[in-house]
């Protein structure tokens, strides 16, 4: 099979402007291996709260359909998310809930990679278990290792420039993206 570019989309679980997770997400295009292109997914910030009555009366909201279409078209999805109260931030969970109700929901068989950053010491490790659980229900294929938990992120990311200043962290992210490219090629690449 001819080599082709893997088109991966990234979804940030934080809506705030100064988000550390967004800073990590913004670094991904430059850290991706050759042959992998990472672009940001359409936003979920305008999604209404999930309500089956809304879906049944007016259908899938246009922004939710747009995100679902982008997920379906992508070779893989990277989530860059904080941990809120030991779990998935409400906005991101709401987005996953909407997308999961699209017909032929697009996470089936989709390669997924997880990254989280937190000013706390555990780097948002617990949100990743919640994300893995949701992805199991949706029949997505989540990369096991390497895991990316960026603890004490305020010391590893310069919030003035938005750059990751910790070289070890940069190295771990590169390793995960390289592993993700192989994972997609083995388990999920579209023809």
Judged by CB under 6 A, which of 6, 10, 20, 92 binds ligand FMN?
20
Residue 16 is a binding residue for ligand FMN (CB under 6 A): yes
* DSSP 8-state class, residue 15: -
Residue 119 is a binding residue for ligand FMN (CB under 6 A): yes
143 torsion bin: left (phi>0), alpha (psi -120 to 50), beta (else): beta
Residue 176 is a binding residue for ligand FMN (CB under 6 A): no
In the numeric block, the tokens 């990679």 are attached to 113
Letters for 44-83 (x = contact with ligand FMN by CB under 6 A, - = none) are --------------------------------------xx
Helices (H) and strands (E) in the chain, counts: 6, 8
Only one of the segments 54-62, 69-77, 114-122, 135-143 lies at the binding site for ligand FMN (rule: CB under 6 A); that segment is: 114-122
- Phi, psi of 10, rounded to the nearest 5 degrees: -120, 140
Judged by CB under 6 A, which of 124, 134, 135, 149 binds ligand FMN?
124
Residue 128 is a binding residue for ligand FMN (CB under 6 A): no
The upper half-sphere exposure of residue 27, i.e. CA atoms within 13 Å in the direction of its Cβ, equals: 26
Q: How far is the CB of 90 from ligand FMN (least distance, A)?
A: 8
| Rounded Cα gap, residues 124 and 129, in angstroms | 10
Residue 21 is a binding residue for ligand FMN (CB under 6 A): yes
| Rounded Cα gap, residues 106 and 109, in angstroms | 8
Residue 98 is a binding residue for ligand FMN (CB under 6 A): no
């Amino acid at each position: 099979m001819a080599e082709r570019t893997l088109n991966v989309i990234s979804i940030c679980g934080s809506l705030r402007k100064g988000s550390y997770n967004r800073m990590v997400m913004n670094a991904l295009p430059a850290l991706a291996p050759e042959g992998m292109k990472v672009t940001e997914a359409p936003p979920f910030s305008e999604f209404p709260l999930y309500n089956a009555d809304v879906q049944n009366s007016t259908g899938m909201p246009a922004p939710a359909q747009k995100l679902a279409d982008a997920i379906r078209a992508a070779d893989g999805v990277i989530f860059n998310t904080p941990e809120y109260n030991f779990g998935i931030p409400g906005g991101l969970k709401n987005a996953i809930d909407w997308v999961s109700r699209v017909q032929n929901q697009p996470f089936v068989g989709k390669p997924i990679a997880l990254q989280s950053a937190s000013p706390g010491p555990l780097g948002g490790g617990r949100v990743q278990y919640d994300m893995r659980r949701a992805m199991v229900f949706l029949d997505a294929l989540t990369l096991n290792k390497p895991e990316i938990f960026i603890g004490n992120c305020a010391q590893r990311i310069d919030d003035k420039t938005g750059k990751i200043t910790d070289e070890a962290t940069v190295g771990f992210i590169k390793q995960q993206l390289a592993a993700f490219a192989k994972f997609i090629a083995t388990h999920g690449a579209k023809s």
